[in-house]
Amino acid sequence: MHSIELLPDEVTERVVRRVWRSVADEGLPSPADHRHPTNRPHLTLATADALPAATRAALAEALATLPLPLHLAGLLRFSGRNNVLAWAVRPDAALLTLHERVWRILREVPGDGPSHPLLAPGRWVPHVTLGRGRGAVWAGPDGRWLPSGAAASGWWAGARTYDSTSRTTAPIGPGAP
């Protein structure tokens, strides 16, 4: 499975990593303790089984709109097989347009299976994961986990693909080789 992910600017990445660390320091599951070199804050736009060259080219063209404004505001908690603590992304019109365009490009890949339904336009809940684990509970108010003000602004500065089989990433879009 391949995912298309937006990456925050360096300042915003440092802010998210500080939150990761504070969650880990409380003894809760956090990406801060995940040492794989691909581990970094990101926003997943969509997934696909394959990314042929023509699809990569179409994605690179769509991602040429980067950088885009990034707005983080408040916590989200998802429950299911794994519970997730996340920083909500407040999408603007440009981010929603980019998301839908990426989604449509990936749906046109011949023979591609269905994408995760929660990533579909209209159902997508944009977020940056802060913690994830079976049975994990991040109790307390947002202020316990987020910096004062519980909001951050910056830029979606780049994009990458992530291949879950090979556990590798590759830049895509502006500035990518």
Question: What would the two tokens of residue 4 be?
Answer: 């298309």
Residue 177: inside a domain, yes or no?
Answer: no
Residue 32: inside a domain, yes or no?
Answer: yes
pLDDT digit string (tens) for 8-66?
Answer: 999 999 999 999 999 899 888 899 988 888 889 999 999 998 899 999 999 999 999 99
**What's the pLDDT score for residue 152?**
85
Q: What is the 3-state secondary structure (H, E, C) of the chain?
A: CEEEEEEECHHHHHHHHHHHHHHHHCCCCCHHHCCCCCCCCCEEEEEECCCCHHHHHHHHHHHHHCCEEEEEEEEEEECCCCEEEEEEECCCHHHHHHHHHHHHHHHCCCCCCCCCHHHCCCCCCCEEEEEEECCCCCCCCHHHHCCCCCEEEEEEEEEEEEECCCCEEEECCCCCC
Domain limits at 121? Answer: 2-171
Residue 108: inside a domain, yes or no?
Answer: yes
Q: Is 41 exposed, middle or buried (0-12, 13-18, 19+ CB in 10 A)?
A: buried
Contact 105, 58 (CB under 8 A): yes
Residue 176: inside a domain, yes or no?
Answer: no
- The CATH number covering residue 56 comes to 3.90.1140.10
Q: Is the pTM of this model over 0.85?
A: yes
Domain count across the chain: 1
Question: What would the two tokens of residue 49 be?
Answer: 């089984």
Question: What would the two tokens of residue 32 be?
Answer: 């801060």
pLDDT digit string (tens) for 126-161?
Answer: 999 999 888 888 777 777 778 766 678 999 999 999
Measured CA to CA, the distance from residue 115 to residue 126 in angstroms comes to 16
